[in-house]
């Protein structure tokens, strides 16, 4: 399939804003694709992904490399390219313009195909070490050398994971269902298990509803984790469930542990493979857990019997070198609270039954624990567990429905969380501003956005400039510098990659931001680099929290 056809299709999509029409158009387009590989790539590419979330490969191409490749093909200097971005709005349009100008001089001989783009991406992502930067630029230059102007627009946006088509996972899921005549819920379930919409589309086409239902959880392929909703209060939480399974809410980082008797793989909440950063946990899992399982738990850092702040756990997760030094400095424990897979099968049993299996496969050790669980109908009892959790330095409690199944990726009423602090928001950092005077070499304020799950768009809700220490600013500047796509005066825009947790005094309605809301007195709490951009809080949650403020005032 020609990449040109894909680019032309994307251009059509870009002009459509209705969700229904987008879904219908994509469905019709997917139906026309005959080749499985092309179908796979098209599904991923339209949603701005090169690899599915579980795949560890990364292109490792930032804005800097794209500039260099574009300089090579067009002989236009970086400063001029930056000026074009300011004028045109994004690097994709700038690339299109550059190729348009170049086309006057030469014409490419070979037509670019989806397969060629995919193969080149795979080559680029396999490059590491010395000389890899140069090779990557060469390969990219080769690709740009073959593109038409329109192809350059979408190739660039694809590399930046930002297609700007308004097509999120929700629309793609519905389009797949419609294209191949299967139930959207079956598509959703298959996606949560495989984490791969491309694969889901191929199975839907070749094997239909039955094939999707047969997709099973596999060891060493991460599954989306079940998530929790905020409980309004103890009474409501217990009232709804009748009898509830109550556990401490540990303030650490989520892990999914896959163990087959030979190999242990540990995934973070973002489904990144963090096995290498946690050698002592790997060893202990091997010694104390019966194999052929996938377990769900929370890793916490503990010193002198007390939990250390959550950031320490993330430091451990991020660590790539000298891991052994960190093992002593930041001692970890895992508290397992669920099991998803046991002896070759996904467990479709209620929590109360899963719990029995969990207890039967783990022998607790110093580092490996089973989260203590109390099943009760008494609100007083839950309050007491909550008080003890807070006293012991934890976040609050999780209240779970004992008869509920484990639904991957689902945030629902079967898991409720009650935390001590006022609810914070997890928002995507989309822009920023350089500081003044002494702080001029640091980014000092950050623009935040929430996520629209249907369209995949990010909607701005405000800026945060307080709550940072000087160390935070220094670290964050290093982290965000490579993500800058454009700069105007002191203001910069970033490739959306990181999520901040922020507190605030109030949410207000505001025409100033495209979300229609603004945060009053936002304050930085922490970088949530355990969360992906598409796991940030949604516009619905912002709306709900806004409404809840009134309800609280009226009480």
Whole-angstrom distance, CA of residue 271 vs CA of residue 409: 11
Whole-angstrom distance, CA of residue 341 vs CA of residue 292: 8
Is 249 part of the annotated catalytic residue set? yes
The span of 26-34, 244-252, 441-449, 485-493 binding ligand AMP (CB under 6 A) equals 244-252
- Give start and end residues of each alpha helix (H) in 180-319: 184-194, 197-214, 234-241, 279-288, 310-318
Q: How far is the CB of 337 from ligand AMP (least distance, A)?
A: 4
Smaller CB distance to ligand AMP: residue 146 or 416?
416
Written as one string, the DSSP assignment of 384-420 is HHHHHHHHTT--EEEEE-TT----TT-EEEEEEEEES
Kindly tell me the sign of the dihedral angle through the C-alpha atoms of 3, 60, 535, 477: negative
The span of 56-64, 216-224, 245-253, 452-460 binding ligand AMP (CB under 6 A) equals 245-253
* Angstrom distances, CA of residue 281 to CA of 161, 336, 355, 545: 33, 12, 21, 38
Coil, helix or strand for 339? strand
Given the residues 199, 249, 410, 419, the one annotated as active site: 249
Smaller CB distance to ligand AMP: residue 371 or 382?
371
Binding residue for ligand AMP, selected from 29, 337, 341, 480, defined by CB under 6 A: 337
Site string for ligand AMP, 503-542 (x = CB under 6 A): ----------------------------------------
Q: How far is the CB of 348 from ligand AMP (least distance, A)?
A: 19
Kindly tell me the sign of the dihedral angle through the C-alpha atoms of 501, 502, 508, 510: negative
Q: How far is the CB of 418 from ligand AMP (least distance, A)?
A: 10
Smaller CB distance to ligand AMP: residue 39 or 255?
255
List, in sequence order, every residue forming a beta bridge with 398; answer none if it has no partner: 247, 417
Number of residues that bind ligand AMP (CB under 6 A): 11
Binding residue for ligand AMP, selected from 41, 151, 247, 452, defined by CB under 6 A: 247
Residue 332 engages ligand AMP in binding (rule: CB under 6 A)? no
* Angstrom distances, CA of residue 96 to CA of 68, 85, 125, 147, 267: 15, 11, 24, 9, 38
Q: Which of 163, 155, 144 is nearest to 26 (CA)?
A: 163
Place of tokens 């387009």: 29
Smaller CB distance to ligand AMP: residue 48 or 252?
252
Kindly tell me the sign of the dihedral angle through the C-alpha atoms of 78, 80, 81, 82: positive
Smaller CB distance to ligand AMP: residue 346 or 526?
526
Whole-angstrom distance, CA of residue 213 vs CA of residue 353: 23
Q: How far is the CB of 327 from ligand AMP (least distance, A)?
A: 21
Whole-angstrom distance, CA of residue 308 vs CA of residue 312: 7
Residue 228 engages ligand AMP in binding (rule: CB under 6 A)? yes
The span of 14-22, 48-56, 246-254, 272-280 binding ligand AMP (CB under 6 A) equals 246-254
Smaller CB distance to ligand AMP: residue 191 or 250?
250
Report the site for ligand AMP in 389-428 (rule: CB under 6 A). 398, 417
Binding residue for ligand AMP, selected from 103, 254, 381, 413, defined by CB under 6 A: 254
Smaller CB distance to ligand AMP: residue 156 or 373?
373
Residue 317 engages ligand AMP in binding (rule: CB under 6 A)? no
Binding residue for ligand AMP, selected from 173, 205, 249, 270, defined by CB under 6 A: 249
Residue 241 engages ligand AMP in binding (rule: CB under 6 A)? no
Q: How far is the CB of 499 from ligand AMP (least distance, A)?
A: 11
Q: Which of 93, 100, 109 is nearest to 73 (CA)?
A: 100
Q: Which of 272, 329, 334 is nearest to 303 (CA)?
A: 329
List, in sequence order, every residue forming a beta bridge with 339; answer none if it has no partner: 295
Which residues are designated catalytic?
A: 249
Q: Which residues bind ligand AMP (CB under 6 A)?
A: 227-228, 247, 249-250, 254, 298, 337, 371, 398, 417
């Amino acid at each position: 399939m020609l990449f040109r056809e894909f680019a032309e299709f994307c251009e059509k999509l870009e002009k459509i804003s209705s969700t229904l029409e987008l879904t219908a158009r994509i469905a019709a387009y997917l139906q026309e694709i005959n080749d499985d590989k092309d179908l796979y790539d098209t599904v991923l590419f339209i949603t701005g992904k090169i690899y599915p979330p579980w795949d560890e490969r990364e292109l490792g191409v930032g804005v800097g490399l794209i500039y260099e490749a574009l300089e090579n093909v067009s002989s236009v200097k970086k400063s001029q390219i930056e000026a074009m971005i300011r004028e045109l709005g994004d690097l994709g349009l700038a690339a299109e313009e550059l190729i348009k100008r170049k086309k006057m001089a030469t014409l490419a001989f070979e037509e670019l195909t989806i397969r060629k783009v995919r193969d080149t991406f795979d080559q680029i992502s396999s490059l590491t070490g010395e000389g890899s930067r140069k090779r990557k630029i060469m390969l990219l230059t080769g690709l740009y050398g073959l593109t038409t102007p329109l192809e350059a627009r979408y190739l660039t946006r694809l590399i930046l994971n930002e297609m700007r088509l308004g097509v999120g996972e929700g629309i793609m899921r519905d389009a797949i269902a419609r294209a191949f005549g299967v139930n959207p819920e079956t598509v959703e379930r298959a996606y949560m298990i495989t984490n791969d919409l491309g694969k889901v589309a191929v199975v839907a086409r070749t094997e239909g509803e039955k094939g999707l239902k047969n997709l099973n959880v596999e060891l060493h392929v991460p599954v989306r984790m079940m998530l929790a909703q905020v409980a309004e209060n103890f009474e409501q939480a217990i009232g709804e469930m009748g009898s509830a399974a109550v556990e401490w809410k540990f303030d650490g980082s989520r892990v999914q542990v896959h163990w087959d008797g030979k190999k242990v793989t540990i995934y973070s909440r973002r489904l990144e493979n963090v096995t290498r950063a946690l050698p002592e946990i790997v060893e202990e899992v091997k010694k104390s857990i019966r194999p052929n399982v996938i377990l769900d738990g929370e890793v916490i850092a503990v010193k002198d019997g007390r939990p250390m702040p959550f950031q320490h756990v993330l430091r451990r997760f991020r660590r790539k070198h000298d891991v052994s030094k960190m093992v002593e400095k930041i001692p970890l424990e895992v508290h397992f609270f669920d099991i998803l897979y046991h002896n070759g099968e996904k467990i479709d049993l209620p929590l109360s039954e899963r719990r029995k299996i969990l207890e039967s496969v783990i022998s607790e050790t110093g580092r490996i624990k089973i989260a203590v669980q109390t099943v009760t109908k008494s609100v007083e009892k839950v309050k007491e567990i909550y008080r003890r959790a807070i006293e012991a330095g934890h976040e609050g409690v999780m209240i779970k429905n004992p008869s509920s199944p484990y639904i991957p990726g689902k945030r629902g009423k079967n898991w409720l969380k009650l935390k001590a602090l006022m609810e914070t928001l997890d928002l995507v950092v989309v822009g920023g501003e350089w500081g003044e005077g002494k702080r001029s070499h640091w980014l000092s304020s950050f623009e935040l956005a929430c996520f629209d799950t249907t369209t995949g768009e990010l909607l701005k809700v405000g800026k945060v400039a307080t709550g940072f220490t000087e160390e935070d600013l220094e670290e964050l500047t290093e982290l965000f510098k490579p993500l800058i796509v454009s700069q105007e005066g002191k203001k910069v825009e970033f490739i959306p990659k990181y999520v901040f947790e922020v507190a605030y005094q109030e949410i207000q309605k505001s025409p100033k931001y495209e979300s229609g809301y603004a945060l009053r007195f936002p304050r930085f709490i922490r970088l949530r680099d355990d969360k992906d951009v598409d796991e940030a809080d949604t516009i619905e949650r912002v709306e709900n929290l806004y409404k809840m403020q009134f309800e609280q005032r009226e009480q």
